[in-house]
Chains A and B, each alone.
Chain A
Amino acid sequence: MWLAALAAAGAAAVRAGTASRVAAAGAAVVVPFALWALAIHGLFFPEGRTVLAELGPARVTAEGLAYAAAFVLRTAALAAVMLAFSLWADVGLLRAALVRRGVPAQLGYVLAATLGLAAAVSDRLRRIREAQEARGLVVRRGPGGRLLAARLQAVPLVLALVDEAGERAVALEARGQSLPGQRTAYRAEPDSPAQRALRWALAAASAAIVASVVVPAIAGAAA
């Protein structure tokens, strides 16, 4: 089942032309998770009965490996499906579509502003480091030196960002950001009746599956 989800996410990513980015971002998340799952559950699983190998305190058990593999597969499916969505979705369009459906308009601002800011911050950090190096910053060895270097770079960055946020707040306020009421988006939203039907069907199916598992579990726990 998880393999089918992985395959579907992969096919969607290939169709959207983001397969390589999804694979890279997914690997960055799933590979460390898989290695640690193997290290934790594969080597140390005291409940395991079938011992495959014994290396000092570590016991490789079939049960531990199966447990690790099951969770890695499920996490990989989760990561692949969500990354296939987030790397394909156009943030501007997503923002317009969400606001039109009654999501607080503030979410759109935060989403778009964060992604824009994240791109600018690494450049800003480089300039701050260059400026501090020009003033004679040398990163000394040891925790003290690193702490000082971190302070000399972090404080100017935070000062500048918070100060700019204050200025932006005035600009946003002047443009009526905090006023209630309808927002009009200039972006046209590509949609079709088939897509709309599919969305509703998928939402209803997810709700039904979740309810079919969650309700008996809660009822069973309460009984």
Chain B
Amino acid sequence: MSHPLTAEAPRRSPLRTVLTVLGALAAAATFVFLILTQPGEPVDAPSASATLIALTGYGIATVLLFVGILPTLPTATLALIPVALVLNIVLGQFVGTALVPIYLDSIGTVLVAFLAGPAAGAATGLLSTIVWSFFNPTLIPFAAGAAVIGCLAGLAARWGAVRRLWWLPLAALATGFAAAFIGTTVALAVYGGTATGATGAVIAVFRAAGDGLAESVLKGAILSDLVDKLVTFAAAAALAYALPRRATQRFEFVRRHRVLAAPRKARDSEAAPAA
């Protein structure tokens, strides 16, 4: 038994696992319910029931995931989360997002997921949405979607998508599809299918062609999210490889699952003892 001050914090407990699973189930149930009860035609007035179900369902999922995951994160990951949040906000500004239908608001989340795993990625997605909504409150209903993006990116890293780079686009596309479907349910139920920026223009084009509202929003979201996640995953992987090994190998997730391919120099000199 070690001294209490150096004792490992309770990383996982059955209760927290149950909470996390319940949170995931709540998000999935809300998603399925919204898909099944989606009206084909837009109705004149905003429907209060669909909105409230989306907000409460995804809200409960957010709280449960939050309480289940956050206290289990190691300190190295926790210290990285504010960095990821700032990167989410700053890095998207480098690319002109006004003309291309992408958001680029999750590079930091995906980077944390690559370095610290699915749970950390999900927590970063949630926290990013919550903190960002202090400035832009319309984002808050998308918190569960951001958590799914972080979680999927972490799973992709765990299964070697960042080590074997040809898997990276596939993982990005899968994440993009998931994000598009979840985002569509929120955008329809809460905002009546309104999106700003180039995504909005894409939706308007499909509407002009006579498509139904749900169909147009889904097509617009898929188009935007697929491109967005391809660029985001590529940028996050490039950043992960640009970081010095001293920084990346600090994360247990990176070491245990060999997330990053070893650099050629290190592989050649592995036989020789380190100088």
Residues of A within 8 A of B (CB): 25, 28-29, 32-33, 35-37, 39-41, 43-47, 57-58, 63, 66-68, 70-71, 74-75, 78-79, 81-83, 86, 104, 106-107, 109-111, 113-115, 117-118, 121, 125, 146, 150-151, 153-155, 157-159, 161-166, 168-169, 172-173, 176-180, 210, 213-214, 216-218, 221
Task: Please provide the chain B residues from 84 to 102 with a CB less than 8 Å away from any CB of chain A in the complex.
Answer: 85-87, 89-91, 94-96
List of B residues within 8 angstroms of A66 by Cβ? 44
Tell me the smallest distance from the CB of B138 to a CB of chain A, in Å. 6
Answer whether residue B227 sits at the interface, using C-beta atoms and an 8 A cutoff: no
CA of A86 to CA of B131, assembled, Å: 10
Most buried by A among B94, B111, B137: B137
Taking CB atoms, residues of chain A closer than 8 Å to B22 are none
* Contact yes or no, B81 A110, CB < 8 A: yes
Q: Is the CB of B53 within 8 A of A154?
A: no
Shortest Cβ distance from residue A6 to the other chain B in the assembled complex, whole angstroms = 13
Tell me the complex Cα distance, A210–B48, Å: 10
B223 within 8 A of A: no
Give the residue name and chain of the B residue nearest to A43 (CB): B204
Residues in B with CB closer than 8 Å to A114 are 81-82, 85-86, 127, 131
* A165-B79 contact in complex given A46-B210, A104-B70, C-beta closer than 8 Å: yes
A35 to B63, CA, bound (A): 33
Residues of B close to A39: CB separation below 8 A: 200-201, 204
Instruction: Among A47, A67, A110, find the residue whose CB has the most chain B CB atoms closer than 10 A.
Output: A110
Question: Which of B175-183, B187-195, B252-260 contacts the other chain?
Answer: B187-195
